[in-house]
A and B are shown apart, each in its own frame.
Chain A
Amino acid sequence: MAKDKVSMNHSMSSSVHVQSLKAKKKNNRWIWYVFLLPSFLGILLFMVYPIVESFRLSFYQSNGTIENFIGLKNFQQVLTSTSFWNSVWNTFYIAFFQIIITIPLGFIFASLINSVKFGQNLLKTVYFLPHVTSIVAAAMIFQFVLHPDLGVANYALEALGLPASSWFSDPATSKWGVILLAIWHWIGFVIIICLANLQAISPEMYEASRIDGANKFQQWLFITLPNMSGTFAFLLITGWIGGLQRFNEVYVLGGPSGSPARSIQTMGAFIYERGFTGFEFGIASAATYIMFIIILVFTFINLKVSKMKL
């Protein structure tokens, strides 16, 4: 009997224990919102609010203190402004050449590094170094590297019998100075991403194709390239998103107006110039929305073109 009682007690207490655990679990669900509190306060205050407020501002004439509702006039003004379309053109021009040159070049370097049997780590370190330096400091150095008369780039070009360029001192060539800087800064990133994915391709595929008599070039064409398509899509998309938001280096090289003659003013610089040197908050807000839409549409097209699934 005594034994029975003990075991009954035991089973009762354990069932009580399970029940209280379940109740506790249910009651404690709110605690997860405490975990999320800092992040969601941040989202509300620093993401949702500014996005909504910026949308509202784009319908107002505003300098931060005085506001007048003017409907779609800001959008009209931005969309008919030649300096805005000039900044769109500059942004796309620089980003296009940066991407079209850096991705293939970076991929070739990554393939070469991947097939070298020694010194891979040394090469990786060296090629990645430009990417860790801040683009602001890099722009500062490139002002001198691409100096039209005294710079090391023109000196080297002339020594090789190639034509020198006027780089940042002439609106006709200044965009190519920025492109060169962008390639120099981004190529290490492209190489590292390509390398990581090259090394993820299964060696068995190469082994099998070798047995079937494929040579190195055929392997590269029929195994490596198709396996890298996802990587190229990723680089294409992140490259465009970064390229369309370009600001830091063009600000250092040409100020808010993108000197010389607005030739390197990007969309970001246009917004900065209107918003924070002219304090035309309404116009700048309308411009940010147009830029935002351009980025979204363009990213969507990129996703479709590269058939990447998100």
Chain B
Amino acid sequence: MNPKMNEKVTNIAQFVVLLIFGILLMIPFLWMVSVGFDRTANITLPFPPRLIPEEVASFNYKIVFENGRLVQSYLNSAIVTISSVLLQVFASLLAGYAFSKGTFKYKKLLFLLVLCTLMIPMEPRLIPLYTLFNKVDLLNTFWPLILPTVINGMLIFLCKQFFDQLPSTLREAAQIDGAGEFRIFFTVYLPLAGPIAATMVILSFIWSWNDFMWPLVVLSDQDLHTVPLYLSSFALENGTSLAGLTMALATVSILPIIVLYLFLQRYIIQSIALSGVKGE
């Protein structure tokens, strides 16, 4: 065999090995879909495990949609996520721009303070925030989930780095024309911030959608539950007793995210690699 052929063969072998491992990683998903559609799996798991159901039935999915709670939790998650994303991205763009192009007192110190927020986990803040929102009577509303997202050190940092790469000469030209700082920001720099804004929206969306511990604390009202809260309460209530229904529920909750991922995967992978932060 000549060396070129040899290389081709090793390449194909490598690809096949990687593909097999990839399919192995996918088995929980494939099995989830299959059990949800399996006629015999309404109460317990079909045994021996099979990837293709013997008899396909859709009653588990019917129950999921007719019950309505998943649909409701989707709506709740959507309201919370969209509001948080808008608030967080807008506030971070403003702050990131000021730290990049602004000249003002205590700039370095204030930026250091922003970086410090990156090291503060949620746990020590949990109880005071809970009592704070309790005092203003906002528990069991979406406000506690939306308002605290206004500050995000990672997004401000990414944003500052982006604006650092844009030339300051754009500002000077607009200043000579007599434009104020806000006009310069909105008409000159914001239109150029598309790429970083997209990254910020993706990250912010993932964080907000998957947020769990804090919503669990402030939302005891089941009608307000977000998707992760509904799933966890369902799982804790039923354990492994309703196999088909649980798997159908998991499928419906994951599927939209997977579809979104398949369409936007290049951007999502880039964004997560850029932030280097676990997406949860």
Contacts and interface: CB of A to CB of B under 8 A. Distances in A.
Interface residues of A, number: 95
B48 A155 contact: yes
Contact of A131 (B130, B131, B176, B279): B279
Interface string B236-280: 100110010011011001100110011001001100110011111
Interface stretch (A206-214, A220-228, A246-254): A246-254
A253 to B, nearest CB: 8
Given A46-B150, A112-B18, A255-B236, A36 B123 contact: no
B127 A54 contact: yes
Given A54-B125, A136-B228, A144-B246, A39 B21 contact: no
B132 A50 contact: yes
A71 interface: no
Contact of A150 (B45, B180, B206, B250): B45
Interface in A37-82: 38-43, 45-47, 49-51, 53-54, 57, 64
Given A184-B25, A252-B231, A47 B125 contact: yes
Contact of B113 (A43, A57, A112, A140): A43
A293 to B, nearest CB: 10
B124 A50 contact: yes
B1 interface: no
A192 B228 CA distance: 25
Interface in A129-152: 129-145, 147, 149-152
Given A43-B151, A46-B150, A281-B127, A29 B254 contact: no
Given A123-B19, A152-B49, A247 B25 contact: no
B14 A116 contact: yes
Contacts of B164: none
Given A50-B129, A118-B15, A184 B28 contact: yes
B136 to A, nearest CB: 11
Contact of A46 (B129, B131, B273): B129
Interface in A92-133: 109, 112-113, 115-119, 123-133
Contact of B104 (A29, A42, A45): A29
B94 A192 contact: no
Interface in B118-162: 119-132, 134, 147-148, 150-151, 156
Contacts of B121: 245, 291-292, 295
Given A144-B247, A247-B212, A252-B235, A238 B123 contact: no
Contacts of B103: 29, 32
A137 B250 contact: yes
B35 interface: yes
B149 to A, nearest CB: 8
Contacts, number: 283
Grouping DSSP codes into helix (H, G, I), strand (E, B) and loop, the A interface class, with mixed when no group exceeds half, is: helix
A90 interface: no
B98 A43 contact: no
A112 B212 CA distance: 35
Nearest to A57: B127
B27 A152 contact: yes
A32 B35 contact: no
Contact of A39 (B151, B213, B236, B273): B151
Interface of B: 11, 14-15, 17-19, 21-23, 25-29, 31-32, 35, 44-49, 87, 90-92, 94-95, 97-98, 102-105, 110, 113-114, 117, 119-132, 134, 147-148, 150-151, 156, 175-176, 180-182, 185, 206, 209-210, 212-213, 216-217, 227-228, 231-232, 234-236, 239-240, 243, 246-247, 249-250, 253-254, 257-258, 261-262, 265, 268-269, 272-273, 276-280
Given A32-B98, A35-B97, 13 more contacts: A32-B181, A45-B132, A47-B117, A49-B132, A126-B19, A126-B23, A127-B25, A132-B261, A132-B268, A136-B231, A152-B49, A271-B126, A295-B121
20 contacts: A29-B105, A113-B18, A119-B19, A128-B269, A129-B26, A137-B253, A137-B254, A141-B29, A141-B31, A150-B45, A152-B27, A184-B28, A238-B277, A247-B213, A248-B213, A268-B123, A272-B213, A272-B216, A285-B124, A288-B123
